[in-house]
């Protein structure tokens, strides 16, 4: 008997899901052992849905998700509501769910997983992080026997495109953003991307899977976007053999009692594999105890690539259904809490415009020492009467580093703090 799918949303991703199910129907049926059939498509406005069988369309999404003949609900409308109510209603009616909804999973994944577990249905969401890249199931399944220590991800294509243009063309932030908008990467209102909200939602999902803790939500993620990244930062990074990337970083604490989850721009050495990720591509670098270093790379957005991930989940659900099983998640929770950004161990790069005279360097070093921050290296460039001092710290609690910068800013020997950015390297 065919597996009947209710599709919620028929935009860029939804229409591609319909197209691919249709185009590959025979192959999919052979691969799974049962055909997949679209049983209905819920849209906000019937007259806007193009390229799909009009008889499948409805504006009554709630009636569709609870219809007795529907086996699986595929949600690609995004946002918190009505998506959450529809998904919970579907699960309550015994349907498995495939969703691409990062915002909802990041805010309330725990509720959705608990509902799915209780109902004995599947909840798959591969498309919610890094689009087409098979990443979440490898983290959940393939690495289930390993211990993930750190995840570093370029999970927002828009910001990667902007930073790449700033680096390769010497373009400014505004100009690069306008270019990203013209190419359709960035939205008319780019806030979710450039302020790091999109990446923060993805970071929460990654942290939950990597560290087997349901506790992390988007609100726990320390978030800084890229609007403050300047040409001086990019130049300073280049001079150090680094590029600037917006990274989502999920990291176990050294005492193994908590995790840190953050999104902010970093300077990354050019030899790091993530440094070579250009344009709007996504990539996620995983550091695991036994597997070592792994990198997942590919298209992080776009209708067809994202639909590929949705279809993969639909096939997984169909196979589970035929086997009479479901894959529950979140049953065992390590309970690892999220620690504050201030407690996170990071390294800073600081470029200071100072007067070139005796005692300045020692005064600067004294400010670092005052906060128990050890200096890793110092470079000085003469500029006539003045100089630029570039310091990179050893790892220290972020709060201590941030207080060091505050004190440097307030010191009369420092004319200007030209650039401050965290630096990431490989973990030891
Ligand atoms: N706006 C996102 C990006 C894609 O630029 O990567 C959807 O998550």
Q: Which of 103, 105, 133, 185 gets mutated to test ligand 1 (max ligand atoms within 8 A of its CB)?
A: 185
Alpha helix stretches (DSSP H) within 275-387: 303-323, 360-370
Residue owning tokens 């070592």? 292
Which of 176, 198, 203, when mutated, tests ligand 1's pocket best, judged by the most ligand atoms within 8 Å of its CB? 198
β-strands 123-124, 96-99 pairing: parallel
Chain-centroid distance of CA 17 in Å reads 22
Measure 300 CA to ligand 1 centroid, in angstroms: 7
Positions in the chain short of pLDDT 70: 428
- Give the pLDDT confidence score for residue 163 in this predicted structure: 98
Q: How many CB atoms lie within 10 A of CB 219?
A: 11
Instruction: Show the domains of the chain with their CATH numbers.
Output: 3-131+303-323 (3.40.50.720), 142-298 (3.30.360.10), 341-423 (3.30.70.260)
Q: Give the residues across from 98 on adjacent strands.
A: 74, 124
CA of 417 to the centre of ligand 1 (A): 32
Give me ligand 1 centre to Cα 247, in Å: 13
Look at residue 49 in the predicted model and tell me its pLDDT: 80
Q: From atom 2 of ligand 1, which residue's Cα is the shortest distance away? A: 156
157 CB under 6 A from ligand 1? yes
Q: Is 198 in the pocket of ligand 1 (CB under 6 A)?
A: yes
Considering only CA atoms, which of 105, 127, 130, 129 is closest in space to residue 116?
105
Which residue puts its alpha carbon closest to atom 7 of ligand 1? 301
Q: Rounded to a whole number, what is the distance in angstroms from the first to the last CA of the chain?
A: 53
Residue 395: the pLDDT is 97
Tell the residue number behind the tokens 């490898």, with chain if given: 138
Give per-residue pLDDT as tens, 374-422: 999 999 988 888 899 999 999 999 999 999 999 999 999 999 999 999 9
User: Does ligand 1 come within 6 angstroms of the Cβ of 224?
Assistant: no
Q: Is 160 in the pocket of ligand 1 (CB under 6 A)?
A: no
280 Cα–ligand 1 center, Å: 9
Q: Is the CB of 298 under 6 A from ligand 1?
A: no
d(CA 258, CA 334): 10
Looking at residue 101, what is its pLDDT? 97
Considering the entire predicted model, what is its pTM? 0.96
Kind and range of the H or E element at 62?
helix 61-65
Residue 382 is predicted with a pLDDT of 83
301 lines ligand 1 (CB under 6 A): yes
Which residues does the annotation mark as catalytic?
202
Ligand 1 atom closest to the Cα of residue 282 is 6
Per the CB < 8 A criterion, the answer to whether 299 and 259 are in contact is: no
């Amino acid at each position: 008997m065919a597996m009947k799918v209710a599709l919620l949303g028929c935009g860029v991703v939804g229409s591609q899901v319909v197209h691919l199910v249709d185009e590959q129907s025979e192959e999919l049926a052979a691969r799974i052992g049962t055909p997949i059939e679209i049983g209905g498509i819920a849209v906000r406005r019937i007259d806007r849905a193009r390229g799909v069988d009009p008889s499948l369309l409805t504006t009554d999404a709630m009636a569709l998700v609870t219809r007795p003949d529907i086996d699986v609900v595929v949600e690609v409308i995004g946002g918190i509501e009505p998506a959450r109510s529809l998904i919970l209603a579907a699960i309550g009616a015994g349907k498995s769910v495939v969703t691409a909804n990062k915002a909802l999973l990041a805010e309330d994944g725990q509720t959705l997983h608990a509902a799915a577990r209780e109902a004995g249905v599947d909840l798959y969401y591969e498309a919610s992080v890094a689009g087409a890249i098979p990443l979440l199931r490898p983290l959940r399944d393939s690495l289930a026997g390993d211990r993930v220590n750190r995840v570093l991800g370029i999970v927002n294509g828009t910001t990667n495109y902007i930073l790449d243009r700033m680096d390769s063309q010497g373009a400014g932030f505004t100009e690069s953003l306008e270019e990203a908008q013209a190419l359709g990467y960035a939205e008319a209102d780019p806030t979710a991307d450039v302020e790091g909200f999109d990446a923060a939602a993805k970071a929460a999902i990654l942290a939950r899977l990597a560290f087997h803790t349901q506790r992390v939500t988007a609100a726990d993620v320390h978030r800084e976007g890229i609007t403050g990244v300047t040409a001086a930062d990019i130049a300073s990074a280049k001079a150090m053999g680094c590029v600037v990337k917006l990274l989502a970083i999920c990291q176990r604490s050294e005492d193994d009692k908590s995790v840190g989850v953050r999104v902010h721009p970093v300077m990354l050495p050019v030899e790091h594999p993530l440094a070579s990720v250009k344009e709007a591509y996504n990539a996620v670098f995983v550091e695991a105890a036994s597997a070592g270093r792994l990198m997942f790379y590919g298209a992080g957005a776009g209708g067809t690539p994202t639909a590929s991930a949705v279809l993969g989940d639909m096939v997984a659900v169909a196979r589970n259904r035929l086997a009479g099983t479901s894959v529950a998640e979140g049953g065992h929770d390590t309970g690892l809490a999220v620690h504050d950004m201030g407690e996170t161990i990071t390294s800073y790069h600081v470029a200071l415009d100072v007067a070139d005279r005796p005692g300045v360097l020692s005064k600067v070093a004294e400010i670092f020492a005052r906060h128990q921050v050890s200096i890793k290296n110092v470079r000085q460039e003469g500029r006539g009467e003045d100089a630029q001092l570039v310091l990179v710290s050893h790892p220290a609690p972020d709060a201590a580093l941030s207080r060091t910068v505050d004190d440097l800013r307030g010191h009369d020997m420092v004319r200007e703090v030209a650039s401050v950015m965290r630096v990431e390297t490989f973990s030891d």
